[in-house]
Amino acid sequence: MTSTATTLVEFRGVEKRYAAEGRAAVTRLDLTVERGEFLTLLGPSGSGKTTTLMMLAGFEAPSSGEILLNGRSLADRPPYKRNMGVVFQNYALFPHMSVAENLAFPLGVRGNKGAAAKEKVDAALALVKLDGLGDRRTDALSGGQRQRVALARALIFEPDLVLMDEPLGALDRQLREHLQSEIKRIQRALGLTILYVTHDQSEALTLSDRIAVFADGAVQQIGSPEQIYARPANIFVAGFVGENNMLTGTVLANDGEQCTIILRGGQIVRAIAAGPLALGNDVVVTIRPEHVETGQHPSSCCNAFEAHIEELVYHGDHSRVRAELRGGDTLFIRTSSDEPPAVADRLPIGWCTDRCFAFPAAGIVEASTGDGP
């Protein structure tokens, strides 16, 4: 790995092992965090994302490897000397202190008191839109307001890096989406570098400049939200990030970039070859629900079939159709709510080759969900 002038953090061959678990929580981690970027660690429970953040913060020590900040090793630097702001899901505020006192606390630890500290507190409250609430106790605030205070406290001493561990996990959906916009606004306005941990795929796609997808203690893919969603590197990423149909089949032909698959119902599919595939290999073909064409459009698609409609669920701006292909494969389709098909209909469907991917069926990691480490 080669560092650059824009690199703030480097993980070099980092591993973390717990003797009691008998396996590595994080293994062979090589990762950089660039200055000013919003990098999200995304993965299911037990994937290693929170352990990675805790090692960077100094709350956990790597079993091997090296973590650098500004080109210097953090091995002998305690957490309070790393100049990192941390925001947790449970806020970690002092209930016996007012909002202003909570914000002033990290300043006092650093010897910043008096009028200068008050000015910083007032500016931080304005930044998170809590002007006038400095004298209020934190237990008198709503969940969203408390998370704003936690964010302001993490920013007030101008850290090199802000670490966020599932900070919005305890909030309802509407408030969570509102605070996502606020966090992104503040990050862009201040040019902050943020390392963000979440198991929420939508949150990661909304907030991030780059996403590192974790599973079994290792990074499965790292890239922009568009790259992660549109060109998943393996079957785990395809199944974990967003919704994907997964159809089973066997390779009939492969020209390197594209391959021909026969599904278990006999349908012939052309797909992008996502990995080394030999003739006769078992594969999983993925296609996202919104990429399945219906009605008059499928005849122009490379892959055109007929499906039987099993279920229709109305979602307001669209309808979600559960269909079955000949052979038993289930397919979910996202269609317009204006003219939805009827249950029991035979529906022409299809999709383009560049929208579907064929992955080796062997070595599939289960794309579970959860909010653990």
Within 13 Å, how many C-alpha atoms sit on residue 205's CB side?
Answer: 11
Q: d(Cα 214, Cα 168) in Å, to the nearest integer?
A: 19
Q: 268 and 181 in one domain?
A: no
Do residues 229 and 271 share a domain?
no
Provide the residue range defining the domain that includes 304.
243-360
| Residue 267 scores a pLDDT above 50 | yes
Return d(Cα 302, Cα 159) in angstroms, integer: 53
How many Cβ atoms sit within 10 Å of the Cβ of residue 95?
9
CB hemisphere CA count around 108 (13 angstroms): 8
Query: Could you give phi then psi for residue 169, rounded to 5 degrees?
Result: -65, -25
Q: Is the pLDDT of residue 97 over 80?
A: yes
Tokens of 202: 């939508």
- Give the tokens for residue 191: 């040019």
Sign of CA dihedral 93, 94, 97, 100: negative
Contact (CB, 8 A) for 209 and 184: no
Beta bridge mates, 212: 41, 222
Same domain, 264 and 350: yes
Are 311 and 347 a contacting pair, CB within 8 Å?
no
Counted domains in the chain: 2
- Examine the fold and report which residue of 189, 204, 235 is the final residue of a domain before the chain moves on: 235
pLDDT in tens, 7-61: 999 999 999 998 877 789 999 999 999 999 999 999 999 999 999 999 999 999 9
Q: What is the pTM of this model?
A: 0.89
Q: What's the pLDDT band for 3 if we cut at 50, 70, 90?
A: low
The verdict on 275 and 220 lying in the same domain is no
> Do 218 and 265 fall into the same domain?
no
Residue 1 falls within a domain, yes or no?
no
Q: Does pLDDT of 338 surpass 60?
A: yes
The more confidently predicted of residues 181 and 368 is 181
Last residue of a domain, one of 235, 259, 292: 235
- Name the pLDDT band for 333 (thresholds 50, 70, 90): very high
Cβ–Cβ contacts within 10 Å for residue 213, how many? 27
Shared domain for 164 and 206, answered yes or no, is: yes
Residue 4 has what pLDDT? 65
User: Does one domain contain both 213 and 318?
Assistant: no
Q: Which of 211, 235, 259 is the last residue of a domain?
A: 235
SS3 149: helix
Over residues 288-309, the mean pLDDT reads: 82
For the chain, report the end-to-end CA distance as a whole number of angstroms: 26
Three-state DSSP class for 281? coil
pLDDT of residue 369: 38
The first and second tokens of residue 214, run together, are 């974790």
Range 180-187 average pLDDT: 93
Residue 93 sits in the same domain as residue 184: yes
| Between residues 254 and 341, the one the model is more confident about | 254
Residue 173 inside a domain? The answer is: yes
pLDDT at 32: 97
> What CATH number should be reported for the domain holding residue 89?
3.40.50.300
CATH of residue 272's domain is 2.40.50.140
CA distance 186 to 179: 10
pLDDT, position 1: 54
Is 155 in the same domain as 249?
A: no
d(CA 62, CA 13): 10
Residue 370 covered by a domain: no
* 126 pLDDT above the threshold of 70: yes
Mean pLDDT of the region 70-84: 94
Please report the pLDDT score of residue 20 as a whole number. 76
Rounded CA gap, 231 and 354, in Å?
10
Dump pLDDT digits (tens) for 203-246: 999 999 999 999 999 999 999 999 999 999 999 999 999 999 99
Whether residue 33 is found in the same domain as residue 74: yes
In terms of domains, do 205 and 270 share one?
Answer: no
Q: In the chain, which residue ranges form alpha helices assigned H by DSSP?
A: 49-57, 99-109, 114-127, 143-155, 173-190, 201-207, 225-230, 235-240
Residues 222 and 247 in one domain: no
